[in-house]
Amino acid sequence: MFTLTTQHLRQLLDANSFPAPPPDATFVFLGLRGCLPLNPDDQRFAATQTLVTTDVNYVNPRCTLIQWRPARNDFAVFPGSTVPHRSYVEEAVRAGGEGANQLMTGYYADYRKGVHKPGTPTAHDAFRQTEGRPIRRTTNDLTYDETDPVDVTNPCDNLHAGWCMGVSHDYYASAGCQVLVGYPRCAQRGDQPDSGPWAQFKANAYAPEVTQVSFPYALLTGLDAQRVAAGGAAARRLRYGSNGPLVTRIQEALQREKFYEGALDDDFGPRTLRAVLAFQTARFGDRADDGIVGPVTASALDVSLDA
């Protein structure tokens, strides 16, 4: 169990060289994989929130979605999932990996208000993925790890209602989307109102006074947040969505090692990710390619992560 503050959220962005909150953004969204609110029924905004790390099991919701209001220095926490449900993974394995995926941790600048599954009975207001993102697909087991291939594509993994009763419920509707506990207003439910934590999450961001239509989303882990909350300097990491001069130094090092042929542009995008994955596999083996430049990978590239 640990207490997270708004300052910790800023430290998490900084430690991963993610962009600072846009000055005109009412909300910044964050996901913490393998972490739940201590009180999953409390979605009030506050300057501090208490969370509990937990194992992801692909059956129950075991993640936290955050709505952060940087200008007000507060945030609210919502139970949900950032991994696909096991039932979808089972189907995907039988289909050679297609049909389910897991979003890699990183920074994704543009989730937009829109409709999830438009034109269907379950269509409902949501936050739509707008561009390619790095995902893993599994073909040999029911979990996602470094042995699974990475693809950069847009599988329409939106952020939406999870059709889920609570954190002990053994089902949620995700084949790779970011979902929240609760149910949506949609034709299949007879246009009954949104319910559960999802209802509050949507009401906050869809409020008439909120003119923001594009929402940045930073996905990390509960352990990442716990380490920052424990005090001391946050360990620096570079991953998809990182930017700045340190990313350029990594690109230069990868170029010297013949793994990177792209522009030196401060941007940890698809080409940099593929180069990091290839370097990690070549240097450490196929169980080490997590796509994250931490101390071990940085040392092998002879690059200091000190800002």
Q: Please report, for the chain, the start and end positions of each structural domain, with discontinuous segments joined by +.
A: 2-229, 245-300
Whether 139 contacts 100, CB under 8 Å? no
- The confidence score (pLDDT) of residue 262 equals 86
- The confidence score (pLDDT) of residue 287 equals 87
pTM: 0.95
- The confidence score (pLDDT) of residue 232 equals 62
**pLDDT averaged over 10-residue windows placed end to end, the chain, 307 residues:** 96 96 93 97 97 97 98 97 97 93 96 95 95 92 92 90 97 97 97 97 97 95 94 83 96 96 93 97 91 96 88
Can you tell me which residue has the tokens 């029911």?
Answer: 142
- The confidence score (pLDDT) of residue 212 equals 93
- Sheet strands side by side (includes 133-136): 102-103, 133-136, 150-153
- The confidence score (pLDDT) of residue 286 equals 83
- Phi and psi at 127, nearest 5°, equal -130, 115
275 HSE (CA, 13 A, CB side): 25
- Phi and psi at 248, nearest 5°, equal -60, -40
Distance CA 160, CA 212 (A): 17
- The confidence score (pLDDT) of residue 235 equals 79
What Cα–Cα distance (Å) separates residue 10 from each residue in 34, 201, 219, 257?
20, 21, 14, 33
Helix, coil or strand: residue 223: helix
